[in-house]
Amino acid sequence: MALAIFDLDNTLLNGDSDYLWGRFLAKEGIVDGEVYERENQRFYDEYKRGTLDIYEFLAFSLNPLSQHSNEKLGQLHEKFMQESILPIITPASRQLIQKHQESGDQLMIITATNRFITAPIARELNIPVLLATEPEIQDGCYTGQVAGTPCFREGKVERLHEWLKDTGENLANSWFYSDSHNDLPLLEMVTHPVAVDPDDTLTDHATSKGWDMISLRGEKVIPFKK
């Protein structure tokens, strides 16, 4: 049984769930729309450039979780799923997931986006293992802080190594699908690295390495063409 690992945002999703959550909160009047949209866009641009300070971003993005009850957050997320997430899960993504399921592979999502946002998405995609950035919880409530190592860049490698040690699994014949150059540390580790609708930096790297490149933006999985 091989391990098939998927990045989430802009890979299985045709968009970024963390960014969209911020926009959703602004639309719902939960945060100051003008200020939040400006900062949300700044962090997203820094992520794409590879200059994101993950701790600065998490202090910003996790704070709204500490301002509301779990019941209210659950209601917001249910609406967010319907309005913002389900429309950006493409048939091709579901097809790729099904292919690995039918092969008997162990499926995993590994994402920098926090578990509050991503756990319901992983359930919707029927992917049982989720490694995500963990929001700190005390007395059953979110504190607005991060717990442990953020699941970002080299942090994804660290978190995956911890999971492999805990479960006794290994990376023999493993797969990793990602769109971003931020995931190069993990892409270099697996047997089958696959660039999915890759950014320019990852496109150049994947081309030089002879890695497979695919698109999941449509009705079926197709070779990626820039």
pLDDT, tens digit, for every residue of 88-141? 999 999 999 999 999 999 999 999 999 999 999 999 999 999 999 999 999 999
Query: Total structural domains in the chain?
Result: 1
**Whether 91 contacts 68, CB under 8 Å:** no
The residue annotated as part of the active site, out of 9, 16, 105, 179, is: 9
| DSSP secondary structure of 116-137 | HHHHHHHHHTT--EEEEEEEEE
pLDDT band at residue 226, thresholds of 50, 70 and 90? low
pLDDT at residue number 40 = 80
Q: Is 18 a catalytic residue?
A: no
Q: Is 9 a catalytic residue?
A: yes
The residue annotated as part of the active site, out of 7, 105, 197, 199, is: 7
SS3 220: coil
Q: Which residue has the tokens 């190592």?
A: 149
Structure token digits, residue 152: 């970002």
Domain encompassing residue 10: 3-223
Structure token digits, residue 182: 């931020």
Convert 124-145 to b/e letters by CB count within 10 Å (16 or more is b): ebebeebbbbbbeeeeeebebb
Residue 56 CB partners (closer than 8 Å, separation 6+): 43
pLDDT, tens digit, for every residue of 159-218? 999 999 999 999 999 999 999 999 999 999 999 999 999 999 999 999 999 999 999 999
Which CATH number characterizes residue 31's domain?
Answer: 3.40.50.1000
Structure token digits, residue 164: 């492999």
Q: Does the pLDDT value for residue 147 go beyond 80?
A: yes
pLDDT at residue number 177 = 98
The CA-CA-CA angle for residues 36, 147, 124, to 5°, reads 70
